[in-house]
Amino acid sequence: MKHGHWNAACVALICVVLWTGTSNSVVTTYIEDFTTTVYKNKINTTAHWDTSAGELKLFPFISTIVGDYDTDMNPKSWTPS
């Protein structure tokens, strides 16, 4: 009885390998060169599409100070817990 189960398992494994190995798949590749704005999502993009240089860039980041906090000149010693 054990031998019969082993043969069935081997046949099933071979069938799975053969059927999955012969499946057809289509490989498609597209490379954006950023020379046009055809694929630019004007509503959702926050990037700068530089079509003259063919580059996609982030806009320059300008940092701003939100607030500040002035501490005592003689802070108390701190030890990690």
Domain annotation covers residue 4: no
Write down the pLDDT at residue 17. 65
The torsion angle over the Cα atoms of residues 43, 49, 52 and 54, rounded to 10 degrees, is: -130
From residue 9, give the alpha-carbon distance in Å to each of 3, 4, 6, 20, 23: 10, 9, 5, 16, 22
Domain annotation covers residue 48: yes
- Residue ranges, the chain, pLDDT below 50: 1
Range(s) of the domain holding residue 49: 32-65
Domain annotation covers residue 70: no
Write down the pLDDT at residue 1. 47
Tell me if the pTM is above 0.75.
Answer: no
Write down the pLDDT at residue 22. 57
Domain annotation covers residue 55: yes
Domain annotation covers residue 7: no
CA distance 21 to 28: 19
**Pick from 61, 15, 53: nearest CA to 35:** 53
Write down the pLDDT at residue 4. 65
Number of domains in the chain: 1
CA distance 58 to 49: 9
Residues 2-11: pLDDT tens digits?
566 677 777 7
Domain annotation covers residue 45: yes
